Amino acid sequence: MAETMAHANDAAASAAASPAPRRLSAGRFPAFLIPVLVFYALFFGYPLARIFWQSVHGEDGFTLVGFEMFFEEPAYWMVLAYTGALGLVTLSITLVCGYAVAYWLVTMNRSWAVMLMAFVLIPFWSSGLVRTYAWMVILGRQGILNSVLLDLGIIDTPFAFIGTNTAVVLALAYYLMPYMILSLYSVMNGIDRNLMLAARSLGASPIRAFREVFLPLTRPGVLAGCYIVFMLGIGMYITPAMLGGPQQTTLPLMIAIQINEAMDWTFAAALSVILLMVTGGMQLMANRFLDFERLWGGAK
């Protein structure tokens, strides 16, 4: 508990207070890592290197034409910007809703929490395709939502949800919500709630106790959740493909079109590299401005 408090108040103090992590002896290479390293080198490192190689190789050897095509066409910049914006909006929604749900789960009776947690996890058992299709059934012109709105007399003609940002964001947020809830829940569950009581007994209002004690302690969960949701969000293919229209074209959709229709793999690889650069760049920024040591170290 002393350690957790230190985390909340002062990162430097925390580093000093917590015992130094046991390091593997520097001279010996841990042999048990070899299978994992080989696996990653073969099935992650090699394909990734191939994508980089493909992005600068056309029919006549070395070329930068794929990157030129991207930088010469403002429409492609907009597609990238839209992809990022979609990730951010989805992230905001899942964060606000997920935080509330996770908080509610940790505060409630344990047996109820376990049961409700199952509801959070059940969607993981079915495929993303099916879950996206469910949204088509709900949001369709003759879907459940439209018939309810029509019956209540709120609208006169069915509203075309499909092909709008609303539909894509809603389905994406729904799809990614469990990741956010799980990240937050695991961290919130480890927070000693006596800390809140201590703050209250020292005269803090409930809101202040929450804001100054609980909220900072959940920071690692918030960051991890945001990170996962954003990364998955900008890479999602099915949801914008099925629920979006031309205005909802994301970079992954553009890559798929390049691979299957335009059959230009150099450009497809260049687009993939650009997407990777953007996410990689964001990771660097996050590492720089957000304290990742604390992020991973805090989620104990």
Partner 1 sequence: MSSRDFRTSILAVGTALGLAFSAAGAAAEDLTILSLGGNYQENQSKYWFKPYAEASGVTVKEAAGYNFANLKVMIQSGNVEADVIDLSADSVNALAKDKLLEPIDWKSVPQSCLAGIPQDMRHPYAFPTIQWAMVMAYNTKTYPNGPKSWADFWDVKAFPGKRGSIGATRPPVEQAAMAENPDIAKLYPFDIDKAFDKIAALGSDIVFSDGYAKVVQFLADGEVDMIVIPNGRMVPMVAEGKPVAINWNQHLRYPNFFVIPKGAPHAEAAKKFLNWVCEPERLAALAKPTNYGPINVDAYKFIDKDVAPLLPGNPATAAEGRVADAEWLGAHRQDIARGWARLGVR
Please state the closest distance from residue 265 (CB atom) to partner 1, in A.
Answer: 8
Residue 249 interacts with partner 1 (CB under 8 A)? yes
Please state the closest distance from residue 267 (CB atom) to partner 1, in A.
Answer: 7
Residue 73 interacts with partner 1 (CB under 8 A)? yes
Binding range to partner 1, per CB under 8 A, among 170-178, 218-226, 246-254, 272-280: 246-254
Please state the closest distance from residue 81 (CB atom) to partner 1, in A.
Answer: 9
Question: Restricting to residues 12-71, which ones interact with partner 1 according to CB under 8 A?
Answer: 69
Please state the closest distance from residue 146 (CB atom) to partner 1, in A.
Answer: 11
Question: Restricting to residues 265-284, which ones interact with partner 1 according to CB under 8 A?
Answer: 267
Binding range to partner 1, per CB under 8 A, among 92-100, 120-128, 184-192, 241-249: 241-249
Residue 146 interacts with partner 1 (CB under 8 A)? no
Sign of CA dihedral 254, 44, 278, 172: positive
Element (H, E) at 90: helix 74-107
Task: Please give the Cα distance from 97 to 95 (Å, whole number).
Answer: 6
Please state the closest distance from residue 269 (CB atom) to partner 1, in A.
Answer: 12
Q: Where are the beta strands (DSSP E) in the chain?
A: 57-58, 61-62
What angle do helix axes 194-201 and 2-9 make, rounded to 10 degrees? 60
Which one of 241, 278, 286, 299 is in contact with partner 1 (CB under 8 A)? 241
SS3 58: strand
Question: Closer to partner 1 at the Cβ: 101 or 236?
Answer: 236
Q: What does the angle CA 124 – CA 176 – CA 107 come to, to the nearest 5 degrees?
A: 85
Which one of 117, 134, 242, 290 is in contact with partner 1 (CB under 8 A)? 242
Tell me the CA distances in angstroms from 197 to 3, 8, 32, 45, one per residue in order: 18, 16, 46, 49
Question: Restricting to residues 169-228, which ones interact with partner 1 according to CB under 8 A?
Answer: none
Local structure of residue 164 (DSSP, 8 states): S
Question: Closer to partner 1 at the Cβ: 111 or 260?
Answer: 260
Please state the closest distance from residue 259 (CB atom) to partner 1, in A.
Answer: 5
Question: Closer to partner 1 at the Cβ: 166 or 287?
Answer: 166
Task: Please give the Cα distance from 103 to 139 (Å, whole number).
Answer: 30
Residue whose pair of structure tokens reads 């100054």 in the numeric block: 212
How many DSSP H helices and E strands does the chain contain?
18, 2
Please state the closest distance from residue 62 (CB atom) to partner 1, in A.
Answer: 19
Q: How many alpha carbons fall within 13 Å on the CB side of residue 293?
A: 9
Residue 141 interacts with partner 1 (CB under 8 A)? yes
Tell me the CA distances in angstroms from 144 to 151, 158, 274, one per residue in order: 11, 11, 39
Binding site for partner 1 (CB under 8 A): 69, 73-76, 78-79, 82, 140-142, 160, 162-163, 241-242, 245-249, 253-254, 257-264, 267
